[in-house]
Chain A
Amino acid sequence: MTTTTNAVLVPLLPFLGAVAGLLLGRTAPGFVRPLAVLPTLASLVLAVLVAAGQGGGPALDAATQLTPTGSVPVDLALHIDGTAALVAVLVGVVATCVQIYSTGYLRDDPRYPSYAALVSLFTSAMLLVVYTGDLIVLLVGWEVMGICSYFLVGHYWETPQARAASLKAFLVTKLGDVPFLIGLFVLAGDAGSFRITTVLGTVAGGGLHHPTLAALLLLAGVAGKSAQFPLHSWLPDAMAGPTPVSALIHAATMVAAGVYVVARLLPVYQASAAAMTVLAVMAAVTMASAALAALAQDDIKRVLAYSTISQLGYMTGALAAGDRGAAVFHLLSHGAFKALLFLAAGVVIHAAGTNSLAAMSRTGNLRDRVPDAYWTMTVALLALAAIPPFSGFFSKETVLAAAEHAAMGHTVHVPAAAGWTVLVAGLVTALLTGAYALRLWLLAFHGRGADAPGHGRQPVAMNAVLWVLAVPSLAFGGLTYRLLPDWLGGDSLAPALTTSVLGTGLALAGGVLTYGAWRHTTARAARTPLGAVAAHPQADAGLVEAEAVAGHEPAYGDIASAPDPADPGRLLLGPLHRHAAAGFHLDALYRAAFVRPVTAGASLVRFLDREVVETYVRGAGALPRLLGAAVRRAQTGNVQTYVSALLAGTVVLAVAAVLVATGA
């Protein structure tokens, strides 16, 4: 089979798996698990084959046109360069791991067939986005991912949090998608084609008339999808979905799709200094604020969600610094270790029966209950904090190095201010990342108190996957930073000394600060008993998590934070803690700025409809009724009245006839 055939099969197989899973889900439950895992696994193998066939060489292009679509043709096009091949491999790996993990995680879930089918469909859509060479086909995959995300976030739709979160995720991402679509049209209008190669050729030839407009419109969609400021507020709430979904969609792949699209269309951004500056500011605000918020969250998954937002900020920062190699490098390594973090967190939540770090910090012995999760999570947190020699160190270093390069003015198309913005924010975020990573680790695994309730080992499917993902988290960066520049078509990805020392030092400093704070506060933990566990700790992991998510708000008063004086984050952030826990009140701002006016407008429309429009409608009925009542009164049944009226009319007619006849 040629590489092109393989590449076509890569998105197709999960799609067929999803269709088959949906069709057979009820009638043949025995086939559901193989239908979920095997197509994804096969597609991973094919993605690896495609990557091997592409081999980091020149981009592979293939296109076919199904039907003429008017002046701007829409092609079913493939465009596979090294970036696409590698990202596809990452998607395949994470999707396969998540599918295997889900067989254990949602073991007893009655809605597992539709869940698995939606994950497969999502995988297919993501692979389509990665491989496609046409912007409209990309948009199709983009929107399919959005709808899958909506369904999967709302998997536990019995809980109000999940319902609200799925709606919010859908609406906020759609808010970005509308400008994204218009941006695509602007691009295609200038380039005369939706093909990415043609668009980039037009950009290179200077034929793009509205680069700033197109770039900023596209950026709105990217911000919505990749959870960048100010459209990031949906991602922490999306943690109400099952953990494997968070790992796949809201950490490793879909949220990376925005970064991937910007990386693909980076020349469009580079054509506009304004767009690059906006991108840099957006990245800086996102990474720093999200890292601060991560430090204040109590829900372990919300910590990871804000961490994801922050790391995505790094990627957009790298793009703002003009280095798409660094961005994709960080995307790849982050996809591996963040997926691992989420999956391990799922195991921890299951074992602890709660998603609250405050409750975990009062639970002793948790690391002995879940040793696999403990060790793999340690590896992944080290990678997150960018401690050498874990993979996160290398990828984050390249980002910082690219920012430094741009700040020094060595990068064409990139304003130095953008470079400085990204660099400073990146270094601050490195400090915060070290802090919140260590806080998470300490609170989750080094609690003191009653032992965690033991209910046997976690399923093998879940633990094995953790170790599979631990390998790239540990070694991906170190092993590949020499090879990847060929694939990603960029500059060297080797760590530079200045930024390495600065970044690692800041991360360590953050760790030390957190450790000190923790030593200081942990004594208080015993004095304030706190915590609630799920109602059914023996049930499968999915149910435990759903109950934990639903129980967090009633137990601790807030979905994001807990009133825990033993939290080192509270000590570190001081008065900032309250605002950071609430995501800097962005949701409240949106509520005041958009939700309230819309609700008020809706009630106004409702009032107008009920009271004004309906009055006319009712009047249209009441007037004939009144007339009917009036006329009915004339129907007395008295013949004399009728004859009187008849004769009166006759007289009037006769007089009129006479008057007319005499011409009077």
Chain B
Amino acid sequence: MHLAYPAVLSALLFCTGLYGVLARRNAILVLMSVELMLNAVNLNLVAFDVYLSKAARDTLHSGQALTLFTIAIAAAEIGIGLAIVLAVYRNRGTSAIDRLRDAAEGHGDDSDDSAGSDSTVPGAEKAEATA
């Protein structure tokens, strides 16, 4: 089999995950997209491991080992990430990451900004609460 197939699929999956990470609003969806990216990498690792174990008589199987580690680490990551999202949700009442703007310049002392966020946040919160 051509190596290009899994490699291209891996690249496309990675970019799909990338899009999800950048475009999704809900933090859990962002975590899903991160899983997609990790899986794209895994596919790449496996494909090259298979290729090298045949073509170069590689017996170390570093690709597969790394894939397993990645899977384990991804599992840990998803657990921690979900815990963080839950904590944020409990404290802030939302898991929309574009609402978590405490790092914004002028946060809290800029009257225009605070007025703007004030006018949008409660409505959104209410919508989420009723849903």
Note whether A and B contact each other (Cβ less than 8 A).
yes
Choose, from B51-59, B62-70, B72-80, B102-110, the stretch at the interface: B102-110
Of residues B21, B22, B23, which shows the largest number of chain A Cβ atoms within 10 Å of its Cβ? B22
A639 at the interface (CB under 8 A from B): yes
A636 to B107, CA, bound (A): 9
Segment 640-664 of A: residues with Cβ below 8 Å from B = 640, 643-644, 647
A69 at the interface (CB under 8 A from B): no
B3 at the interface (CB under 8 A from A): no
For B106, the closest partner residue in chain A by CB is A632
Is A644 touching B22 in the complex (CB atoms < 8 A)? yes
Is A643 touching B104 in the complex (CB atoms < 8 A)? no
Main secondary structure of the interface of B (DSSP, over half): loop
Count contacts on B: residues with CB < 8 A to the other chain.
Answer: 14
A635 at the interface (CB under 8 A from B): yes
Contact among A637, A640, A643 for B105, CB-based, below 8 A: A637
- The tally of CB-CB contacts under 8 A between chains A and B is 31
Residues in B neighbouring A643, C-beta threshold 8 A:
21-22
A647 to B37, CA, bound (A): 14
Contact among A632, A635, A638, A647 for B98, CB-based, below 8 A: A638
A489 to B64, CA, bound (A): 126
Is A639 touching B100 in the complex (CB atoms < 8 A)? yes
- The range of chain A's interface size is 10 to 19
B126 at the interface (CB under 8 A from A): no
A635 to B105, CA, bound (A): 6
B97 at the interface (CB under 8 A from A): yes
B18 at the interface (CB under 8 A from A): yes
B101 at the interface (CB under 8 A from A): yes
CB of A378 to closest CB in B, whole Å: 87
Contact among A637, A639, A640, A647 for B107, CB-based, below 8 A: A637
Main secondary structure of the interface of A (DSSP, over half): helix
CB of A630 to closest CB in B, whole Å: 12
Is A647 touching B105 in the complex (CB atoms < 8 A)? no
Of residues B23, B102, B104, which shows the largest number of chain A Cβ atoms within 10 Å of its Cβ? B104
Segment 541-580 of A: residues with Cβ below 8 Å from B = none
Segment 110-131 of B: residues with Cβ below 8 Å from A = none
Residues in A neighbouring B107, C-beta threshold 8 A:
637
Is B97 touching A639 in the complex (CB atoms < 8 A)? yes
Is B18 touching A635 in the complex (CB atoms < 8 A)? no
A639 to B23, CA, bound (A): 11
A638 to B98, CA, bound (A): 5
A115 to B18, CA, bound (A): 90
Q: Given the known A-B contacts A639-B100, A640-B97, A640-B98, are A632 and B105 also in contact in the complex, defined by CB atoms under 8 Å?
A: yes
Segment 244-269 of A: residues with Cβ below 8 Å from B = none
Residues in B neighbouring A635, C-beta threshold 8 A:
103-105
A-B contact pairs, 16 of them (CB 8 A): A632-B105, A632-B106, A635-B103, A635-B104, A636-B104, A637-B101, A637-B103, A637-B104, A637-B105, A637-B107, A638-B97, A639-B97, A639-B103, A640-B23, A643-B21, A644-B22
Known pairs A637-B101, A637-B107; list 5 more (Cβ under 8 Å). A635-B103, A638-B97, A638-B101, A639-B103, A640-B97
